[in-house]
Chain A
Amino acid sequence: MSEILVLVEHVEGQVKKVTLELLTLARKLGTPAAVWTGAGYSPEAQARLAEYGAEKIYVADSAEVSDYVVAPKAELLAHLVGEKAPVAVLVAATAEAKEIAGRLAIKIDSGVLTDVVGIEDGLVADQSIFGGGINVRSRVTKGIPIVAVRPNATPVEAAAGAGTEEHVTFTVSDAAKGARIVERVKEEKGARPELTEAAIVVSGGRGVGSAEKFSIIEELADSLGAAVGASRAATDAGWYPHQFQVGQTGKTVSPQLYIAAGISGAIQHRAGMQTAKTIVAINKDPEAPIFELADYGVVGDLHQIVPQLTEEITKRK
Chain B
Amino acid sequence: MNIVVCVKQVPDTATERKLRSDDNTLDRDAADGVINELCEYAVEEALRLKEAHGGEVTVLTMGPAKASDTIRKALAMGADKAVHLVDDALHGSDALGTSHALAQTLKKIGFDLVVLGSESTDARTGVLAAMLAERLGVPQLTFANQVQVDKGAISIQRVTDYGYDKVEASLPAVVSVVEKINEPRYPSFKGIMAAKKKPVEKLGVADAEIDASQVGLANSWSEVAEFAVAPPRAAGTVVKDEGDGGVKAADFLASKKFV
Contacts of A313 in B (CB 8 A): 250, 253, 259
Quick check: A280 and B165 within 8 Å, CB to CB? no
Is B230's CB under 8 angstroms from A114's CB? no
Where chain A touches its partner, the secondary structure class is mixed
* Chain A residues within 8 Å of B238, by CB: 286, 291, 294, 296-299
Is A178 part of the binding interface, using a Cβ–Cβ cutoff of 8 Å?
Answer: yes
Of the residues B137, B222, B227, contact of A111 by C-beta under 8 Å: B222
**B228 and A112 within 8 A (CB):** no
Complex Cα distance, B143 from A197, in Å, reads 20
Please state if B258 and A187 are interface contacts (CB–CB under 8 Å): no
- B142 CB–A CB distance under 8 Å: yes
Q: Is the interface of B mostly helix, strand, loop or mixed?
A: mixed
User: Closest Cβ of chain A: how far from B121's Cβ, in Å?
Assistant: 6
In Å, the complex CA distance between A271 and B230 comes to 13
Q: How far is the CA of A297 from the CA of B221 in the complex (A)?
A: 44
Task: List A38-83 residues whose CB lies under 8 Å from chain B.
Answer: 69-71, 74
Chain A residue, CB-CB nearest to B230: A135
In the complex with contacts A95-B126, A141-B223, A313-B253, A306-B246 CB distance below 8 A = yes
Interface mask (A233-252 → B, CB under 8 Å = 1, otherwise 0): 00100000011000011000
A25 CB to closest chain B CB, in angstroms? 18
- Interface residues in A77-133 by Cβ distance below 8 A to B read 94-96, 98-103, 105-107, 109-115, 124, 128-133
Whole-angstrom distance from the CB of A197 to the nearest CB of chain B? 10
Which of chain B's residues has its CB closest to A248's CB?
B121
Q: Using a CB-CB cutoff of 8 Å, which residues 118-136 of chain B contact chain A? A: 118-119, 121-122, 124-131, 133-135
Minimum CB distance partner of B100 in chain A: A106
| Cβ-defined contact, B224 with A304, below 8 A | no
Residues of B with C-beta under 8 A to A208: none
A186 and B162 in contact, given A113-B222, A136-B227, A305-B249 (Cβ under 8 angstroms): yes
Partner of B140 from the list A98, A99, A115, A132 (CB cut-off 8 Å) is A99
Q: Flag whether A257 is at the interface (Cβ < 8 A).
A: yes
How many contacts A-B (CB < 8 Å)? Answer: 280
On whether the beta carbons of A178 and B140 are closer than 8 Å, the reply is: yes
State which of B65-73, B84-92, B167-175 sits at the interface with chain A.
B167-175
* Contact assessment for B165 and A184 in the assembled complex, using a CB-CB cutoff below 8 Å: yes
Query: Are A141 and B226 neighbours in the complex by a CB distance under 8 Å?
Result: no
Tell me if A29 counts as interface (CB < 8 A to partner B): no
Structural contact, B126 and A297, CB atoms closer than 8 A: no
Residue B17 at the chain A interface, CB threshold 8 Å = yes
B140 pairs with A257, CB closer than 8 A: no
Report B-chain residues with C-beta under 8 Å of the C-beta of A182. 155, 166-168
Query: What residue in chain A is nearest B117 (Cβ atoms)?
Result: A249
Chain B residues 226 to 259 lying within 8 A of chain A, measured CB to CB, are 226-230, 233-241, 243-250, 252-254, 256, 258-259
B221 touches A249 (CB 8 A): no
10 pairs of A and B residues whose beta carbons are closest in the complex: A308-B246, A300-B241, A111-B221, A178-B139, A102-B127, A312-B250, A187-B163, A99-B130, A309-B246, A297-B238
* 22 A-B pairs whose Cβ atoms sit less than 8 Å apart in the complex: A71-B140, A99-B127, A99-B130, A111-B221, A124-B225, A134-B19, A134-B229, A136-B19, A136-B24, A140-B221, A143-B221, A178-B140, A179-B139, A179-B168, A181-B158, A185-B166, A186-B163, A249-B121, A298-B246, A299-B238, A308-B245, A313-B250
Residues of B that sit less than 8 Å from A by CB: 13-14, 16-19, 24, 37-38, 94-96, 99, 118-119, 121-122, 124-131, 133-135, 137-143, 145, 155, 157-170, 173, 178-180, 220-230, 233-241, 243-250, 252-254, 256, 258-259
